[in-house]
């Protein structure tokens, strides 16, 4: 499906990746521009928070990854990533995975800052506990999202787990065997492989 869409994104943003995967699964093509939110003032006109991802759709500005994914879903005539029979369960799961990614981003910012101090260590520990506690919460609800069709909560879970492994630790696999096996399986899908940080974005 051809659309006049431009996604402004960062090189490792798990939230932007979520949008890219949604577009791939839905078959909606878009252009992508990488933006350094710390140096570039380009987004100021469209999003004063300099928030990525931001989607420009035929001149319309759509910010926040969840809004972008919902918009992309509305463009599809053949499928939806939001299952009607468990819509609110799906949205709750997305909210939890967003929290995992937000805490992962914040943790990375904290550990990148210098000098290190005791207060910063406590802050980092809080982020880590939230991440691991949330992953364990998802493990307990494995049957709720483990469906054949690809859904938005699955996409968000995959992005959250991969980002956790990238920026924090892959040890989450040790205590969450169902999620580990599920993640290994979904990681073999083209829409996951083609959207890893450092991989050129591809359409099939």
Q: What's the pLDDT at 45?
A: 79
Q: Residues 23, 113: one domain?
A: no
CATH code at position 30: 3.40.30.10
Q: Which of 80, 109, 141 is the last residue of a domain?
A: 80
How would DSSP label each residue in 59-125? TEEEESHHHHHHHHHHH-SS--SS-GGGHHHHHHHHHHHHHHHHHHHHHHHHHHSSS--HHHHHHHH
Tens-place pLDDT, residues 68-96 = 999 999 999 889 999 999 999 999 999 99
The reported pTM is 0.92
Q: Residues 60, 122: one domain?
A: no
Q: Residues 142, 172: one domain?
A: yes
Q: What average pLDDT does the chain have?
A: 90
Q: Which residues of the chain have pLDDT under 50?
A: 204
Q: Residues 166, 96: one domain?
A: yes
CATH code at position 124: 1.20.1050.10
Residue 28 domain-assigned? Answer: yes
Q: Residues 42, 95: one domain?
A: no
Q: Residues 46, 143: one domain?
A: no
Q: Which domain covers residue 16, as residue numbers?
A: 5-80
Q: Residues 68, 163: one domain?
A: no
């Amino acid at each position: 499906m051809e659309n006049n869409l431009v996604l402004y994104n960062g090189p490792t943003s798990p939230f932007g990746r979520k949008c890219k995967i949604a577009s791939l699964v839905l078959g909606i093509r878009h252009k992508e521009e990488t933006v350094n939110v710390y140096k570039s003032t380009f987004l100021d006109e469209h999003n004063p928070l300099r928030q990525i991802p931001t989607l420009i759709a035929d001149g319309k500005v759509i910010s926040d990854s969840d809004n972008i994914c919902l918009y992309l879903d509305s463009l599809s005539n053949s499928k939806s990533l939001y299952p009607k029979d468990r819509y609110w369960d799906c949205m709750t799961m997305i909210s939890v995975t967003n929290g995992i990614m937000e805490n992962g981003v914040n943790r990375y910012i904290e550990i990148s800052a210098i000098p290190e101090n005791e207060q910063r260590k406590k802050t980092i520990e809080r982020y880590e506990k939230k991440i691991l506690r949330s992953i364990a919460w998802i493990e307990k609800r494995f049957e709720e999202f483990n469906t054949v069709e690809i859904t938005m909560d699955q996409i968000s879970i995959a992005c959250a787990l991969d980002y956790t492994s990238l920026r924090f630790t892959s040890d989450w696999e040790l205590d969450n065997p169902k999620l580990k096996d599920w993640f290994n399986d979904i990681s073999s899908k083209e829409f996951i492989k083609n959207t890893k940080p450092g991989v050129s974005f591809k359409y099939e």
